[in-house]
Structure 1
């Protein structure tokens, strides 16, 4: 028989209390767990509680549109009163009575807007990213240490601090940065510090040098010594000269052909026997990382060729497209200096810009200043190597690499007479050379590029310009010049070695003393031109001189943009500022204009292909919305790989013949043996390979048309990406035209990082734009407010204030009045 006992009221009350107490304990446990979770870093993630804190967390980065930047500041170490006038684009015009105060305030302002960027870029240069992000950056950091980046920066710091002017410049700049850092609470940290979970550290003068070495490495880091050694082993001398000529036929060099060079003070050295390292390298010894189409442009037009009668200077260096932006616009004023232009957050002064008398710009020279040497270790003794028939002891440098969440990694880098042993039995990065290899780099030398910046920022004329750039040793740059007197000039500037023919073009024998770098070419003998008869000068990373220059050199040069620029300038009767805007944004492809008729001629019998019909009507302009641009670029790529892939597809760094050389061979050598595909039994002709590449292109475009549009800007996907690769703070598929083979060299993640046009008349008229904004804070309205202007090819008129005054200018929006404490 079933039965039950009815619970008493006392029993019910007890159970309720028990359940209530259990629930309370549960809530306490959950609360404790939640508090622990919010305040504990888990793996690479920072404590979420700090990020979600509504007062001091991520939301603190949000800035209102109408924020008032007007302020009065007091700093302890200023020598006098100063002012910062902020214009309508948040460009600071820094005015002070002394050099110290100008650089102090520049450092403070750079840190105010770009501290995290400065911190991360100098950490990257020094190989210290793993300290804040963990193992995912370890390989990068180790490579930086083994390249000798910190060693190079320390050498240059000694040179800069040995001069009282550049020492004072660096000291004041560093003081300004540290004054800002010391004022920060967690609430005011830049957002990325909170998201990644680390804190700012004090700035040092060394960090300024690290930033400059980071740029130098980016601009001189690529070298063809290793792939050339492989090519030398698989090609006959005739084929090597045919496919990889020292100079491209028809080059329009940086220094115009016919320029008279002074007699050389040094004789050309003779190549020693057996200078190239053996045994022969194999393709499996190397990685495949080559990227083409990067570059920069600059040019100057004399007053005799302009509508205004004033010289015009233009510059658009093509570098990585990142946010925060690479550059920071500024004007600096003190007694003896009034300069405006693009500065690098993390370095004092203005890098590209103009004074009230002269203007200057930079493009990369690409002359080879980095050579590799194979080293012969002493068997059984890791402390020594063979050199000049003797056992020589390495010098060593201990590199301690901090790794977030793990123990430090200790790496011992051995240095030879040539430089650091970047690859050895203890280190072979994936895809790298599996041999002991030392790197000899001009950037390792104790040079003082800060002095070049110091002098350029005060230049009053051509001699001041020359005296300034002679301190600029590495990276090699093509330095353009114009002044208010109507002069124009261009120098292929840097410190170079007097080499024998082919020295450094291949991996050298590191055990032979005859292969050492020896005499340095006096820099006043660097190739240059002043006021040429043609009335203009230009550089676009092409070959620097014609064959009459007395010193031998090699490098990695491109000609397509130079051909277009020089043709355009030669045909302009009276140049205007607007003409220069159009030329910087020019998207005409010399490549397409030259090779497309050949490709179409071999496809003339193809019927019913709608892509071919589009090609036949195309004007060879890679405009953003152009479907024809997408067709051509893909067709060309398939054709290029079809020609070279079977024979040279395994060349290290994908060093196949250049676009320019391939273009010339297609036009002039229709029966070249390389058109035959060695992977098939039949013998192919140029027509066969054109038709095969057309079919590949058609199939690919048909598939792509089903998933995305065929407009050119979609396929190339120009993107301005946050330095930490945070998608929410990045911009993708920007509606831009151009490519690496057009003057507007707008690629996926590289493009014009700063467009500048300056007309050096009675009143200087200057324009500029860059892809981003002044602020590094993603929560600021000034983070990317220039970006659309840049995408549209538009410019801002730059506000260049006369020294000592900002009065009566309606573009001044905010003022900082600054006094000593």
Structure 2
């Protein structure tokens, strides 16, 4: 027995030793790709030496030598991006190309299929030829910088450039100018949501068959100018009057189309000198995108011939997307421009290879496309285009549900242009020195459409940039639902003049801003959109801006970090009107007692969605359960598409606007339920859910336990054990409708996880530009072993910032490394 025990002990010790050795080997191999920032080297692609000075937050400050060209600085940015975010860049390029399945197998076939249908990469290649000379020079030099880093990795055996490369063995072809344009198009895809809105409105129309009730659940943003629309079944005869559950394309690995409600958001506001305490203009910007590790944003400073620029870049793109120079600041917010239309295309009954056009039946433009799949046989697609755009498969986005037999669906979208000059606009914007120059540069923007908030020494402005589709006033659905593609009145008629894009210059009140709210009221077809991203945050922003006669950098920071929910303060008095303090005495442990405790907590709450408080969780769970009770019996499976609470819907119901209280009655039950009944039942639903997840002690709840920021690695984030090293999870304040926005997932089992927030925050003060500040949500590095992988995450969570200075001496004084690159 003792002999057996000794052998078991030896085997166990051996296994432990082997595990330790394996872990050390994995660490050694992974650590080989950690970038070294303090070095001198010679690389091809440069015309003169360049210096990359990394400040103490690892922000690269890129300087050319005396007499160097801007191209050398772009080379430095490409090199820096490839040092820190090579895996992220490689994955984004493959996503745009529709070539992920070569690496990840069947998990990404759905993603590749969709990207191939759109043909984004081929369109990016065609767009290279139409870029401005400055943009073309930047793209080529940036690509040379990336490729110089790839050469260094190969020559010096630097661990394939990123630890993920060992796991997946991804080949890395040289970077091309088209790759950067493709990544910009990919960002446009992530920021565009009108296609989903069209499908959902059509499905809801089929389910409800009542225009007034459709207006309840898909409410128009406040304001006039929207006329009644026909039902979808009238637009497209033969569409089925039933609904299925949501399609699951977004569950495909790395699927780039955001779920409904997550297609882009952001905040930006500016103050003129008359409203600034220090007498200079102020500008704040926090763009909102899906959270990930590493994050989307990468901080950088470029010393160009026109002066220094600093701010947020996106790896793969050679431009500061949001930031400032000494003389100009710019910020971006999603404009919600309706730049996508779906068309129902009729097939020729005699020849399904033809579709009905304005001029009769004609052939689809077709091309085969082969998707190679790791360890599987390849799949051959036949790409089909009509005059309106690419044909999409009915299996995606529930399109089959709204498509009559004998028809297919095509997509018109501004980004599907072979002459996309958006990259040129981004380069020229960065080189602009005044508001007027920046507005002029915006004319070349095609997609994604953005509201550009601008500030120079004495002027503030907001200009919507991006191509506006020109539509016929007689368009059947006004672009709100799929329409018949063969009717000339439904088809696009080119691009509206840039001068017609909304513009606000030198506002009389000295303050302007955008929280994705409706910015103007123009009748169709001169409108911007029927669907806007915000009807709530703007009210809180107005209050904060107007409460002060003059503003400072700190008051702008305070507004960025504000967590008071205007929505909660509006809805709670409505839904609890007949419940506050009306219950009879109830013993501890009963449902009635729990309800009374919850209502008492909410009655004393100011609406602050603070991570340490219980009230935000009780409120959020209540209104979520309430909306589910109101819509499930009416909409059936379509109700699952409404993952997030629609505040205007609940307000319409409880104010009984145009008979909206009808939603409170359950059609399948014999009795007539009131809205008070629904509110009470929903509160009980919420309390039961909370008890099952977090316990029954309501006073001890923490909103932050449910509202965790999920900054997860896109590929390794679900791998057992590895996920603890690559994912960044933090309790956060804010909510769907606060200025410090933290959009929840809306998906069980963790519906309140914060998955979409401000990955970048910046505040620029032109009275003292070097006192400007910024922050990103994770860190500069994409390497999980780097100290810079998550070093900014806690600062971001706490609402802290780092200096945003163009002072070269300050950057050098605290440098963590200086890389000097000379021409080889």
Q: Fold match, TM over 0.5? A: yes
State the partner residue of 1:699.
688
What corresponds to 2:411 in structure 1?
A: 439
2:32 aligned residue: 60
Q: Could you say which residue in structure 2 is the equivalent of 1:740?
A: 736
Q: Tell me how far apart the structure 2 counterparts of residues 730 and 621 of structure 1 sit (CA, whole Å).
A: 31
Give the Cα separation in 2 of the matches to 1:333 and 1:184: 26
Partner residue in 2 for 1:560: 536
Give the direction of change, closer, same or farther, for the CA distance of 1:665–1:247 in structure 2 (3 Å limit): same
| Separation in 2, partners of 1:477, 1:807 | 33
Shift of 1:756: 0.4
Is 1:798 aligned to 2:804, yes or no?
yes
Provide closer, same or farther for how the CA distance between residues 815 and 547 of structure 1 changes in structure 2, counting only shifts above 3 A: same
Aligned counterpart for 1:578 among listed residues 539, 545, 554: 554
Out of 492, 506, 512, the residue aligned to residue 464 of structure 2 is: 492
Is contact 1:229–1:281 with CA below 8 Å preserved after alignment? Answer: no
User: Greater CA deviation, 445-454 or 788-797?
Assistant: 445-454
Conserved in 1, the CA contact under 8 Å of 2:246 and 2:638?
Answer: no
Structure-1 residue corresponding to 2:119:
148
Between the aligned partners of 1:613 and 1:492, the Cα distance in structure 2 is 45
1:199 is displaced (CA, Å) by 3.3
Contact kept in structure 2, 1:589 and 1:622, CA below 8 Å:
yes
Deviation, 1:238, is: 3.9
How many equivalent residue pairs? Answer: 748
Deviation readout 1:182-223 (Å, 9 max, x if unpaired): 221354221011122333222112211111111000111442
Aligned partner of 1:282 in structure 2 is: 241
Q: Deviations over 1:16-38 (max 9, x none)?
A: xxxxxxxxxxxxxxxxxx9xxx9
Match of 2:588 in 1: none
Aligned 8 A contact 1:539 1:562 in 2? yes
How far off is 1:332 after superposition? 0.6
**Secondary structure of 1:602's partner?**
coil
Deviations 1:145-175 (A, max 9, x none): 1233224323433322xx3222211111111
Q: Aligned residue for 2:10? A: none
Q: Secondary structure at the match of 2:310?
A: strand
Asked whether the 8 Å contact 1:71–1:816 carries over to 2, the reply is: yes
**Following TM superposition, by how much is the alpha carbon of 1:673 offset from its aligned partner in structure 2, in angstroms?**
1.6
| 1:807 to 1:641, Cα distance in 2 relative to 1, 3 A | closer
Cα distance in structure 1, aligned partners of 2:217 and 2:54: 54
Instruction: Verify the 8 A CA contact 1:338 1:458 in the aligned structure 2.
Output: no
Shift of 1:653: 7.0
Q: 1:532 to 1:593 in 2, by over 3 A?
A: same
User: Do 2:265 and 2:288's aligned partners in 1 also have CA atoms closer than 8 Å?
Assistant: yes
Unaligned runs of 5+ in 2: 1-14, 249-258, 585-592, 718-722, 744-753
Give the CA RMSD over aligned residues.
3.1
- Structure-2 separation of matches of 1:219 and 1:170: 23
Q: In the alignment, which residue of structure 1 is the partner of 2:622?
A: 635
Matched residue, 1:523 = 498
Structure 1 match to 2:137: 168
> Using the alignment, how far apart are the partners of 2:280 and 2:621 within structure 1?
43
Does residue 164 of structure 2 align to residue 192 of structure 1? yes
Single out whichever of 548-557 and 320-329 deviates more from structure 2: 548-557
Match in the other structure for 1:810? 813
Does the C-alpha gap of structure 1 residues 550 and 145 become closer, same or farther in structure 2, counting only changes over 3 Å? closer
Residue 380 of structure 1: how far off its partner (Å): 4.9
816 and 81 in structure 1: CA distance in 2 versus 1, 3 angstrom threshold? same
> In the TM superposition, what whole-angstrom CA distance separates every residue of 1:672-731 from its partner, at most 9, and x where no partner exists?
222211121111111111111111112222222339973111112221111213313344
> Which has the larger displacement, 520-529 or 811-820?
811-820
Q: Which range moves more in the overlay, 79-88 or 466-475?
A: 79-88
Would the aligned equivalents of 2:53 and 2:811 in 1 still touch at CA under 8 Å?
A: no
Counterpart of 2:58 (choices 90, 111, 120) is 90
Report how far residue 624 of structure 1 moved: 0.4
- In 2: Cα distance, 1:745 partner to 1:812 partner: 33
- Single out whichever of 585-594 and 745-754 deviates more from structure 2: 745-754
Give 1:284 deviation, angstroms: 2.8
User: Retained in 2: the 8 A contact 1:321–1:720?
Assistant: yes
Moved more, 708-717 or 436-445: 708-717
Structure 2 counterpart of 1:718, from 702, 709, 726:
709
Residue 635 of structure 2 is matched in structure 1 by: 648
The answer for the alignment partner of 2:823 in structure 1 is 820
Partner SS for 1:317: strand
Shift of 1:288: 5.8
Q: What secondary structure sits across from 1:651 in the alignment?
A: helix
Quote the Cα distance in structure 2 between the aligned partners of 1:645 and 1:164: 56
**2:11 matched residue in structure 1:** none
Which residue pairs with 2:8 in the alignment? none
Q: Write out per-residue CA displacement over residues 395-438 of structure 1, whole angstroms, 9 at most, x where no aligned residue.
A: 112221111112221111111111111125xxx24844254111
The residue number in structure 1 matching 2:183 is 211
Give the alignment of 1:413-812 within 5 angstroms: 413-423=383-393, 428-429=395-396, 431-434=398-401, 435=403, 436-445=408-417, 446-484=419-457, 486-499=458-471, 500=473, 502-547=477-522, 551-557=526-532, 558-604=534-580, 605-607=582-584, 608=593, 609-651=596-638, 654=641, 659-666=646-653, 668-669=655-656, 672-706=661-695, 710-726=701-717, 727-731=723-727, 733-747=729-743, 748-761=754-767, 763-801=769-807, 806=809, 810-812=813-815
The two structures have a TM-score, normalised by structure 1, of: 0.85
- Change in Cα spacing, 1:178 to 1:732, as seen in structure 2 (3 Å) is closer
Higher mean alpha-carbon deviation, 324-333 vs 71-80, is at 71-80
Inter-partner Cα distance in structure 2 for 1:476 and 1:469? 10
Compute the displacement of 1:741 (Å). 0.9
Please, which of 365, 369, 372 is the counterpart of residue 335 of structure 2? 365
C-alpha distance in structure 1 between counterparts of 2:28 and 2:546, whole Å:
59
Distance 1:548 1:388 in 2: 26
Q: How far apart, in 2, do the equivalents of 1:763 and 1:406 lie? A: 56
8 Å Cα contact 1:423-1:438 kept in structure 2: no
| Structure 1: runs of 5 or more not aligned | 1-33, 39-47, 252-267
Residue 9 of structure 2 is matched in structure 1 by none
Q: Which moved more, 1:591-600 or 1:697-706?
A: 697-706
* In structure 2, distance between residues paired with 1:148 and 1:171: 22
Of 30, 35, 49 in structure 2, the residue corresponding to residue 81 of structure 1 is 49
1:321 lines up with 2:327 in the alignment: no
Q: Does the 8 A contact of 2:244 with 2:638 survive in 1?
A: no
Normalising by structure 2, report the TM-score: 0.85
**Conservation of the 8 A alpha-carbon contact between 2:216 and 2:652:** no
- Name the residue aligned to 1:42: none
Distance (Å, rounded) in 2 between the aligned partners of 1:550 and 1:373:
17
Distance 1:321 1:394 in 2: 39
| CA shift in 2, pair 1:169/1:246, >3 Å | same
Alignment partner, residue 12 of structure 1: none
Residue 196 (structure 2) pairs with residue 228 (structure 1): no
Structure with max Cα Rg: 1
Cα deviations across residues 754-807 of structure 1 (Å, max 9, x unaligned)? 000000125442101111111111111111100000011111111213xxx548
Distance change in 2, residues 1:652/1:279 (3 Å): farther
Comparing 776-785 with 202-211, which one deviates more in the overlay?
Answer: 202-211
